[in-house]
Amino acid sequence: MQRNEPIRKYPIQPVPSVHTAVFRNNQVLVVKRANEPSKGRWSLPGGVVELGEKLWDAARRELLEESEVECNIEGLVDIVDNIIPDSEGRIQYHYLVIYLFGSYIGGIPTPGSDASDVAWITYEEFPDLDMNPGVKQVLPKAFSLKHNC
């Protein structure tokens, strides 16, 4: 664990994270999580906001680290609590997830530090993917916001 890095598993307080719905035409970029929580499930690229880091900067950094893609961040989609208890009911993970949306600028999507795969998907494809419920909840809103810009 790096100095000043929040305790992620069995935290003493919620951990802020930021994820970005990056759009290219009618598709959004998704990554397959390589680590817990939600290992092996599709998600939007993102991760924990570091101490002293501004939200938009954290979103750009995490996007680049996980997918080697850059985007222009355009706005807020939603804020969702992702609370995962263990088998005994103790809080194993508690992320305060801030979802943003933006437009693809460049880069060739390639799995990075916390991703095992990346893909561009359409609105029609996302319901069939194994995703965290929070992501499934915000993706329709992200598509709507992006296409109403």
pLDDT tens digits for range 77-123: 999 998 989 999 999 989 999 999 999 999 999 998 788 999 999 99
| Tokens coding 79 | 């804020």
- For the chain, the straight-line distance linking the first and the last C-alpha, in angstroms and rounded, comes to 40
| Predicted TM-score of the model (pTM) | 0.89
Domains in the chain, please, with CATH?
15-147 (3.90.79.10)
Averaged confidence pLDDT in the chain: 91
Instruction: Say if strands 115-122 and 27-33 run parallel, antiparallel, or are unpaired.
Output: antiparallel
List Cβ neighbours of 3 (8 Å cut-off, separation of 6 or more): none
Q: Name the CA dihedral angle for 9, 69, 112, 132, rounded to a multiple of 10 degrees.
A: 40
